[in-house]
Structure 1
Amino acid sequence: MPTGLRFTDKTVLVTGAGSGIGRTVALAFAAEGARVAVAGRTTASLDETVALIEQAGGTAAAFTADVSREDEMRGLVAATVDRFGSLDVAVNNAGVLRGRNGTPMGDVAVADWQAMLDINLTGVFLALQAEIAQMRTQESGGAIVNIGSNLGAHKRIPGAAGYQATKAAVSALTRAAALDHIRDGVRINAVSPGASATTMSMRPGETEEERAERMKGASPLGRVSATAEIAAAVLYLASDDAASAVGTDLVIDGGASA
């Protein structure tokens, strides 16, 4: 791996790294010299991410973990440090959207509400606690980036109450944790994407071509964001270039919430 890159000899942990934004973020960190621990619940997709990183000359390892379980998040951080020697950056990306699009809040299934709370919010809380516990012991501290959403704190739409509530809470949790732990040497920020080139932005039965046509009128930018554009924002906030960014919630949504 070439020297002079922003994350040479750094260890980065990415949750939800088996696909979509998480996979792109993991690949981007590896391309900039990081040793990447990719985490999620599905072994096969994580192994695919590791293979892509290794094919490009990078270093990565896969770890299965459920972000909603405290013991598994503590174990994930311990396994990452045992494998690579440190935890310098963490990206808490795991998230779900449950239920049918457009379901009014009064009709949301309690099971769907609970699943989004468990993964989108409690999962970030548990990840933060495990990551901070390690980073505050390191002389170099660390940087954490939580993946939020433009829906919730920045914009609301009908029919997504549960998802928006959890993502708004991620924004608030990020800011509170950032204030609590910056003096520990742990710098915490968030990136809040809008519609991006993942399956989550597609309506049921919609093709990529149909989504592209819809987005011409639905977004000021006229298209979804590429996952690489989201990754670029994550890497910026995790890097020394953003050393004074503390508690930032960086919205990348093509102007949808402007």
Structure 2
Amino acid sequence: MDPTVAITGATSGIGRAVAEAFVDEGAFVAVSGRDGDAVDRTVAALNEGEGADGDGDGGETAGTAWGARADVRDEFDLERFFEGVAREAGPIDAVFANAAVFHGGPGESPIDEASYAGYDDTMRTNARGVFATISEAVPHLAEDARLVVPSGAVANESRPGMGAYAASKAAAEGIARGFAADLDATVGVVDPGLVATDLTGKERARDPESVAPLFVWAATEAPAEDLNGERLGLREWKAATR
């Protein structure tokens, strides 16, 4: 049976690329984001078989996309989103808690200059948003479901100018480990390395499309015991799939 996958922050960057990869694998993919119009455009493009860059060269669509507006800062949005996914496609096999913000720019946002408002919104989106995403997904999970939280080196390495974003990623990893300890479902962290997205703005970084298969592998094929409460990255993926 083809899996049912739910992705937050799925209208651009890694989230959009992962949605495209899952659709290509034949999955039912539920996408969400803060911008309802962007969600509608993403769903239409995925169902028309367009590539993650929207250039229309993605080939014939194998799976199905569905979407709804949801702001991960609002648990009631997430409650409605996951209820909608379950109503449309049944129990959810994989959740990708991808939605995140970065107020400022990487390397240009020292934490000692962070505003309280910016810090609070970053933590509410990137950390509490992960907590709320997993919490609201739990009632709708399939047996052997997997929940994946993206992170990066900034979660456990001191790097200048990463501000509240680094703190929020460390918190998100802690939240994932907590759920891994307390849920029957598999919950883990995936680190794709430096990826060029709207958040990072890095020109010399991997394209989101190049790391999307890593997330698909983690959510479907990686040994559950290697993912649960742990962090998987490019090295583990390449070793397992070469």
| TM-score greater than 0.5 by the shorter chain | yes
The CA distance in 2 between the partners of 1:233 and 1:70, in whole Å, is: 28
In structure 2, the partner of 1:128 is 134
TM-score, normalisation: structure 1: 0.80
Q: Which residue does the alignment assign to 2:175? A: 173
Partner of residue 66 from structure 1, selected from 46, 67, 71: 71
Contact map agreement 1:14 1:39 (CA 8 A) in 2: yes
- Find the counterpart in structure 1 of residue 58 from structure 2: none
Residue-by-residue CA offset, 1:179-205 (whole Å, 9 max, x unaligned): 211xx2x111111233212232227xx
Judge conservation of contact 1:150–1:193 (CA < 8 Å) in 2. Answer: no
Distance, in Å, in 2 between the alignment partners of 1:64 and 1:88 is 20
Q: Following the alignment from structure 1 to structure 2, what is the Cα–Cα distance between the partners of residues 14 and 132?
A: 14
Q: Secondary structure at the match of 1:233?
A: helix
Of 214, 217, 238, the residue aligned with 1:236 is: 217
Whether the aligned pair in 2 keeps the contact of 1:93 and 1:147 (CA below 8 Å) is yes
Q: How does 1:131-146 map to 2 (within 5 A)?
A: 131-135=137-141, 138=142, 140-146=143-149
Larger Rg: 1
**Correspondence for 2:199:** 200
In structure 2, distance between residues paired with 1:21 and 1:160: 19
The structural deviation recorded for 1:14 is 0.5
Task: Report the alpha carbon displacement of residue 39 of structure 1 after superposing the two structures with TM.
Answer: 0.5
- Which one of the candidate residues 83, 90, 93 is aligned to 2:95? 90
CA contact (8 A) 2:93 2:145 kept: yes
Per the TM alignment, residue 252 of structure 1 is displaced from its structure 2 partner at its CA by 4.3
**Alignment equivalent of 1:114, drawn from 114, 120, 134:** 120
Map of 1:248 onto structure 2? 230
Amino acid across the alignment from 1:32: E
For the 8 Å contact 2:105–2:200, the answer to whether it is kept is no
For 1:198 and 1:103, the matched residues in 2 are separated by 17
2:27 to 7, 13, 34: 34
Match of 1:256 in 2: none
Quote the residue 2:14 is aligned against. Answer: 21
- CA–CA separation in structure 2 for the residues paired with 1:198 and 1:74: 27
Large movers: runs of 4+ above 4 Å? none
Instruction: Tell me the C-alpha RMSD between the 2 structures.
Output: 1.8
Unaligned runs of 5+ in 2: 50-60, 236-242
Change in 2 beyond 3 A, CA 1:242/1:226: farther
How far the C-alpha of 1:100 sits from its partner, in A, is 4.9
State the partner residue of 1:44: 37
Equivalent residue number for residue 159 of structure 1: 161
8 Å Cα contact 1:27/1:52 also seen in 2:
no
What is the rounded CA distance, in whole Å, between the counterparts of 2:87 and 2:210 in structure 1?
31
Q: Which runs of 5+ in 1 are unaligned?
A: 1-7, 204-210, 213-223, 254-258
**Matched residue, 1:80:** 85
Q: 1:142 offset after TM fit, Å?
A: 0.8
Query: TM-score with structure 2 length normalisation?
Result: 0.85
